[in-house]
Amino acid sequence: MGAPEAAAGARPTARERILETAYELFSRHGTRAVGVDRIIAECGIAKMTLYRNFPSKDDLILAFLEERDARWTRAWLQAEAEARGDTPARRLLAIFDTFESWFARKDFEGCSFINVMLEVVEPEHPVRIATVRHLESIRGFVAGLAEQAGIEDTDAFARQWHILMKGSIVAAGEGDVHAAGRARELGRLLLDHHGVAA
């Protein structure tokens, strides 16, 4: 979930520096609360440099969401689930094991896709459409595991599992330190309902 690795010895480009600063700020505070001026100030660049790389704040948010998908969804969540589980069912449950350590972190920031989606209410706004697409990508990963586990209606299962995931993230944001464990228990019941041994 950390910074992308620059090539050995290479200085990050202005675009990379801007995106890295925006990533940290947007992840922590949301996109509405963070203005372009703050990103410019923290990044130490000229305003024209930002707009040369990202013509609008929405363009920067879209790039942030892509980066979040690469770091959070694929490089962290999917990789952790696959490393922790040796069967599709155990990989599904390992999502909540992974969440447990994430929820316990002092810098737990919640799900950026949910946060940004709730900030942008217009259904046809490009940023909202992007958040929905990234959430669909997470469900796609779950559906793939469900298919490997022999579950017939993978879409319905993935939507149910994703509700557990999103609900546990929100509960953790409320301060429920056992949210991941509770979701894992419900996940076991859901697997059992579909005839899959965990």
pLDDT, tens only, 38-49: 999 999 999 999
Position 95 in a domain: yes
Q: What is the mean pLDDT of the chain?
A: 95
Please classify residue 11 by burial: count the beta carbons closer than 10 Å to its beta carbon, then call 0-12 exposed, 13-18 middle and 19+ buried.
exposed
Q: Across residues 119-143, what is the average pLDDT? A: 97
In this model, does residue 4 exceed pLDDT 50?
no
Q: Across residues 110-135, what is the average pLDDT? A: 97
pLDDT of residue 10: 84
Position 103 in a domain: yes
pLDDT in tens, 149-186: 999 999 999 999 999 999 999 999 999 999 999 999 99
Q: pLDDT-based confidence at 2, cuts 50/70/90?
A: very low
Position 182 in a domain: yes
Domain count for the chain: 1
In this model, does residue 130 exceed pLDDT 90?
yes
Backbone angles phi, psi at 107, to 5 degrees: -100, 25
Position 9 in a domain: no
How far is Cα 159 from Cα 136, in angstroms, rounded to an integer? Answer: 9
Position 8 in a domain: no
How far is Cα 62 from Cα 112, in angstroms, rounded to an integer? Answer: 12
Q: How far is CA 31 from CA 53, 68, 106, 112, 196, in A?
A: 18, 13, 20, 9, 40
| CATH number for position 166 | 1.10.357.10
DSSP string, the chain: --PPPPPTTPPPPHHHHHHHHHHHHHHHH-SSS--HHHHHHHHT--HHHHHHH-SSHHHHHHHHHHHHIIIIIIIIIIHHHHHH-SSHHHHHHHHHHHHHHHHTSTT----HHHHHHHH---TT-HHHHHHHHHHHHHHHHHHHHHHHTT-S-HHHHHHHHHHHHHHHHHHHHHT-TTHHHHHHHHHHHHHHHTT---
pLDDT of residue 9: 62
Residues in the chain: 198
Position 33 in a domain: no
pLDDT of residue 40: 97
Position 12 in a domain: no
Please give the residue range of the domain that contains residue 146. Answer: 60-193
pLDDT of residue 5: 46
